[in-house]
Structure 1
Amino acid sequence: MRVRDYQADDDADLYELSRIAFGGPREPGPRSYWSAHVGFTGLVAEDDGGLAGCVKVREYGQFFGGESVPMGGLANVAVHPHARGHGVANTLLDAALVHMRDRGQVVSALFPSAPALYRGRGWEQVGVYERVTLRVEALAMLPRPATRPVLRRAAEEDLPAVLDAYYALASTVDGMLDRSSASFRPEQPLEFDLIDLVPGPDGSVQGYLLADRPDGQQVICHDLVARDPLTALGLLANLGRWTGIVDEVSLRIVDPACWQFLVNQPVAHDIRNHPWMLRVVDLPAAVAARGWPMAEHLTPFAIDLDVTDEHAPWNAGRHRIVVEHGKVTCEPGGAGTVRVDARALGPWYAGSADSAMLRRAGLIDAAPADARMLDVLTGAPHPCRMANTF
């Protein structure tokens, strides 16, 4: 078996492989082929029987500590039935790690259909992608803002300001995607049925609502972003005005503050969660790329790690995390006081798990006092969230 880069000539074979693996129509649509999309690279595996497997690596940035970190988003991981059970997926993942490191994608995220496969290669569950379905009357009964925001339909010239409003939120929530990467088409928001905004001063946007109105009894809300509570309540009230027309609103939880503090949540409600996993691809580079808001408030210290990482051997061995003059760096060497499995690096980096959680899971081995400063650096544990799937 050999692994090589994706080429446009692979499109038809890749469509057939994905159709068999994930389901879909026999006849491809206009955007079914990989070449119809932008902002990605890909790897394919071949054996004597032809195309054996594939993986797509999307070019993303992901916010951690307020900074956009280069991230490779793995998608379309598929193995042809004739080749299953022969290590094709593992071979592709190992090749993808080298591929991402070479391209400067210092972390990698994915939505797992087979968690055990990805855990075996160093990815670990870190965050959530959540949707809640509410009766529309629940939104209609929310408190009305004292001053009703004026909404209007967004136009193409508003898109930069809409993106700025998204960044004002996304940069404060670890795990959110940077939508300026090549994987996002700038004009894409205009393709939704609803893109209503609340204008702010000097051409800015105070908040916006992005939604679809498909057939049936639902409005599907993709983004509800607001810079302040009055704007959020105004946007929620606008969704509530669908009362009598539709039965439900499917609300993607983009801003946890809006959902937790402004929506009157029923005593019992169902949230559909699609968890995602994270892996540190290049530890020193990932530490350099991340924001560390706490660092400027800390006196200088160092944490000595001894990393076990069979599948990204450049991460393996002893590293020293150094905090000094408000900066955090990762240097080779140190005493190896905190022994870390590769799977622990993602939850630590994201801040989704503290050292006590990782120790109970068998992912780190250290005295509690030796590992505690890892938690201080990231503010762990705290929720991590993504508002896009891939």
Structure 2
Amino acid sequence: MTAQFEYSTLADPQDIQQLIYILEQCFITGGGGEEAYINLIGVENFRIIRGFGQLVGGLATLDMGQWWGGVRVPMTGIAAVGIAPEYRGSGAAIALMQQMLKELYARGIPLSALYPSIQSLYRKVGYEQGGSWCNWEVSTKSIQVREQPLPLQPIVSINHQVFHQLYQQQAKLTHGYLDRHPAIWERLIQPDEKETFYAYFIGTKDQPEGYILFSQHSKEDGTILRIKDWVILTVVAAQTFWSFLASHRSQIDQVRWRSSVTDSLTLLLPEQTAKLKNTMRWLLRVVDVVKALEMRGYPSGIETELHLEIQDNLLTGNNGKFILSVANGRGEVTKGGKGELQLDVRELAPLYTSLFAPYHLQIAGKLHGTETAISAATQIFAGSSPWMADFF
């Protein structure tokens, strides 16, 4: 089955209804959920693909930012990628992603990220594993942190604007964290129909040192406190966080939250009782090599250069040799150089995010480099394990 595909924005009311129908079938939803999602993201932020004389699929784009090395880099998140089942395998999904990436490149967007339903599709257009999304769980009875150095202030009127300043302080220091899209904030603070939502500042109302947003659920296997979002900026805030959760032990069996694969908060627990409940990796695509390398932050104590040779079969402006010069925590890219580190743009993603060290990528056959280049790349891309708290 072959076809010529046409990529465009979403505007026509009939197209909107057809895309809603496709997405409801793709994501097993109904009751107006997909229509509400399109309205939340904004019709103007959807892209569609036509083939065989009709609309066959579409996706959502979320323009936001991501923190790398303490610097915000513009990033477009891709969500709700859906192709009508009768046209899967026709090339429609690949065409949709290729055209979307060309659009992002033309707009000067450095990065794109997504959560894959099937990894192989997105690898074909240059995405690769970039970081983790993890759910942790701990029994309230095992927390055993009693000291509560700070007060907790209930937030009665919940508006995401009140959390922004605190969130950005933590996001800036967290490798891979989002500068969230308004729609992500909106969904975060809107409770589901069957849940009650609670929010507290940790510390005084005038000078909070963090916050916690959560809901409570009664399941067949026990009661669960699900933390929807959290910010912890100081050690006393961390102690208060755990003490507050421990105080729920008479009503709540388990606490669940999202954090890094290596969650430093668990160091405050007396025993290794916190467990990773599940984890997956999101994918990153370096859309514009020069912009991506120049806009992120780097370790401040190094001054070196890395000679790269990049291959990008889709976005040809990324092809060629580049010199990345790093000093004072910032990078500058010039064309040319020795090309001592050779890799596909796909393999640039886990190097860029510090998900894997250059040596391990080389062992996996994902890049080739001289000893000098591997050493320089190891210094340049040193960083904590990248993660996101948000699924989009």
Shared fold (TM-score, shorter chain, > 0.5) = yes
Counterpart in the other structure of 1:129: 133
Structure 1 residues 117 and 272: CA distance shift in structure 2, 3 A: same
- Equivalent position of 1:163 in the other structure: 164
Per-residue deviation, residues 331-388 of structure 1 (Å, max 9, x unmatched): 11112221111112111111121211111222211123222211211215x4111010
Q: Which residue of 1 aligns with 2:89?
A: 85
Aligned-residue sequence identity (percent) comes to: 23
Q: Which runs of 5+ in 2 are unaligned?
A: none
Task: Pick from 310, 313, 325 the counterpart of residue 310 of structure 1.
Answer: 313
CA RMSD of superposed structures (Å):
2.6
Residue range with higher mean Cα deviation, 58-67 or 94-103: 94-103
1:113 pairs, out of 114, 117, 127, with: 117
The answer to whether 1:229 aligns with 2:241 is: no
**Which residue of 276, 285, 294 maps to 1:279?**
285
Query: CA–CA distance in 1 between the matches of 2:90 and 2:11?
Result: 24
**Given that residues 343 and 366 in structure 2 are in contact (C-alpha distance below 8 angstroms), is that contact kept between their aligned partners in structure 1?**
yes
Specify the SS of the correspondent of 2:86: helix
Q: What is the match of residue 149 of structure 1?
A: 150
One-letter code aligned to 1:169? Q
Whether 2:189 is the aligned partner of 1:189: answer yes
The answer to whether 1:386 aligns with 2:391 is no
Question: Equivalent residue of 2:322, what SS?
Answer: strand
The answer to whether the 8 A contact 1:149-1:231 is kept is yes
Q: Which residue of 1 aligns with 2:356?
A: 353
Identify the residue that residue 15 of structure 1 maps to in structure 2.
20
Please state if 1:342 is matched with 2:345: yes
Report the Cα distance in structure 2 between the residues aligned to 1:264 and 1:32, rounded to whole angstroms. 44
Q: CA deviation at 1:8?
A: 5.8
Q: 3-state DSSP class of the match of 1:128?
A: strand
Count of residue correspondences: 380
Query: What is the TM-score with the length of structure 2 in the denominator?
Result: 0.88
Q: Which residue matches 1:56? A: 60
Distance 2:378 2:43 in 1: 34
Map residues 200-219 of structure 1 onto 2, 5 A cutoff: 200=204, 203-216=206-219, 217-219=223-225
Contact 1:11 1:35 in 2 (8 A): no
**TM-score, length basis structure 1:** 0.89
> Given that residues 105 and 281 in structure 1 are in contact (C-alpha distance below 8 angstroms), is that contact kept between their aligned partners in structure 2?
yes
Residues of 2 paired with 1:366 and 1:222: CA distance? 42
Is the 1:305–1:336 Cα contact (8 Å) retained in structure 2? yes
Letter in 1 for 2:176: G
Question: 2:46 & 2:321 partners in 1: Cα distance?
Answer: 32
Unaligned runs of 5+ residues in structure 1 are none
Q: 1:339 & 1:256 partners in 2: Cα distance?
A: 30
DSSP 3-state at the match of 1:275: strand
Distance 1:30 1:72, change over 3 A: closer
1:96 corresponds to 2:100: yes
- Whether the aligned pair in 1 keeps the contact of 2:130 and 2:349 (CA below 8 Å) is yes
How far apart are residue 211 of structure 1 and its match? 0.5
Q: Which amino acid aligns with 2:385?
A: P
Deviation at 1:108, TM superposition (A): 0.8
Whether the aligned pair in 1 keeps the contact of 2:355 and 2:386 (CA below 8 Å) is yes
Look up the SS of the partner of 1:130 in the other structure.
Answer: strand
Q: Is the 8 A contact 1:306 1:319 kept in 2?
A: yes
2: distance between equivalents of 1:160 and 1:92?
Answer: 34
Q: Give distance in 2, aligned partners of 1:99 and 1:128.
A: 27
**Structure 1's 66 and 156: CA in aligned 2 closer, same or farther, altered over 3 A?**
farther
